[in-house]
Structure 1
Amino acid sequence: MTTELVERVRNRLAGESRSADPIALAAAVRAEAGGALSHDAVLDAVRQAQDEFLGAGPLAPLLDDEDVTDVLVSAPDQVWTDGPQGLARASVRFADEDAVRRLAQRLALAAGRRLDDAQPYVDGWLPARQGRVRVHAVLPPIAPDGTCLSLRVLRPATHDLDALGACGVFNAAGARILRTVVRRRLAFLVTGGTGAGKTTLLSALLGAVDPAQRIVCVEDAGELRPVHPQFVSLVARPANVEGAGAIELPELVRQALRMRPDRLVVGEVRGAEVCSLLNALNTGHEGGACTLHANSPAEVPARLEALAALGGLGREALHSQLAAAVRVVLHMQRMPGGRRLSEVAVLQRYHGEVRAVAVWRDGQWTARRSLFADLVREADS
């Protein structure tokens, strides 16, 4: 289906004031093709037209690739994908800057957002029928070199611990540590950078939880899908185009506490919800967990300080809550050979301040291994 045919179909639909539903698209394609297309060719052209008018246009095949986690457009001829092997240049090309802008505006509209000169940036979620995709776009003059479009594909994290071990995410010693953390109901954080595999590891750990325990999970996006009979998911809702109707994570954490959780999980703490989570973990909900963006376990206390400040929790109170609530930090790292569990740290309080002390690093125990053994003995007592 050529660019010229696409434009003719677009103009026909606009002239007839018809929506781009499959029947209207098929009729418009047949009319504009002038009988030159076979039945199979018409069906193929309709599918392409649906991607162009309703879906992700030329980016649709990239989003359908199971290995792709991000699709990035920085210019009509600059389309990149991210996956297990890192960033790679895609063969997709747009006709011009206007084509990129039209796609960005259409995706923004599908996400219930506005994108134009008066509102030159957007962040939202595409509807479920188009997959769980987060769309972000920036228009000129904010992006002086042209429209920038970023699509993040959120695929359900369904691997179990055995599968991750087989993939080399951790060795046999790492697997024993992880199973001990789950079995002894030690509250933990999974940390790492973007795309490091935090959610994948958390989902695998939740799948290893005793089936008799009820897990209530709060997320910004429904990524966690562990194989567990007592898993309940609550997903935040963004504001609509009028800026109303948002239901954010702090409120969902409060609601989750009323749902009789044995374990409370937050998919990712990004703001004031950390205060509600720490409060919950200090009121008998053992074995809770969440993920957190951090470059290393050592940075966790400072990172949580900044987030807790958004909820009005001071530094001293944060460290007091953290020391009582969280036991272990599991740090994921993205390396050239894939994602790895690179460090396990125990949170210890020194002179009123919490610090992360590494007990396992790069596949081996450190000299502070005894701290982890102490936690296990404490949990068993």
Structure 2
Amino acid sequence: MTTLIARFLRYVSFDTQSDHTLATCPSTPGQTVFAKQLQQELMSLNLDDVKLDGNGYLTARLPSNISTTVPAIGFIAHMDTAPDASGKDVNPQIINNYQGGDISLGHGEVLSPVMYPELNQLHGDTLITTDGSTLLGGDNKAGIAEIMTAMAYLQANPDIKHGDICIGFTPDEEIGRGADLFDVEGFNAQWAYTVDGGPVGELEFENFNASAATVICHGVNVHPGSAKDKMVNSMGIAAKFQAMMPADETPECTAGYEGFYHLNSMQTSVAKTTLSYIIRDFDSAGLAQRKAFMQQKVTELNAVLGCERVEVILSDSYNNMREMVEPHTHIIELAKQAMIECDIQPDIKPIRGGTDGARLSFMGLPCPNIFTGGYNFHGIHEFITVEGMEKSVRVIVRLAELTAKKYQ
């Protein structure tokens, strides 16, 4: 655990926040800096085929230590952190033997079991938190640390038999581009697991179908001193449109398999206001209905306004990987068995979001998702448990061993 913690704390010191406004890959130079550090570490572990390509994708292979041929499997994590909160100058705090109650993070922020009741299940654990000013970066540097630690453990314990294990670290997952330039054929795994989940036991092989909607409201700007009967304030139009959206179908009002509409940013002025939404639904027909609903509301609002002042641009982002993973049930069964043999109860649930694995599954690499031990990703209240991270390492090691046993 000491090595695992040290590795994680070192990784979160790298500022790797991705930026959707930039077209480069990786979108930010910090990801390349981090990738080069990881490249050196992979080489120091004497892994084979260590490669960092020009787009920031880092891959490597731990070669098989058995004479028979078994399927090569992969483990994948992403190097970037979310744009939702700063990932610069992360200052982790370690809370040993947490016994309940509020945790003062700093900067006036408190991590409280009143808001985050899952803390009540973590008494006695060691927590790694933020200092209240940045995110932690467990999403997904915990996954990277866990994969690296598992590979080091397998290298140090050759009595644990395994086939080829392929490692992949990707850029720009948080802005939806993590799989864009991933070389599935070159990766050469028959299936893989993203190590990008949350609390201990999470095992996920279905995710939202996702679309984006950009609603543009056009106004007319005139000097306010002479605006009577001339000015049309686009922000007022935008407010009317948002009021037409279902108030109980938002992220904060939904859970499980319930879809949502999420207004996640806006750019405003009198002349033009742009509303950026993400639309999510686990069912493809449900997503189509949601897109049609937004188009209908645009039509209705234009009818009220008496002219075409509102438009919507819809685009699809990713699909539910369930249809690509379910035909390969052995992948899920192996993960379940690995968890059970590590005294972990599998918690199979849908991902209320997306991972690289969703895209990769449609690119020919079935890729469910397993836990990291983290909570509250993308914000200043993010934290992770050391015990959860250690359990993730154990599951990765056991998955490698079980795969070899099954196919020898």
Higher relative contact order (CA 8 A, sep 6+): 2
- Give TM-score scaled by structure 2 length: 0.25
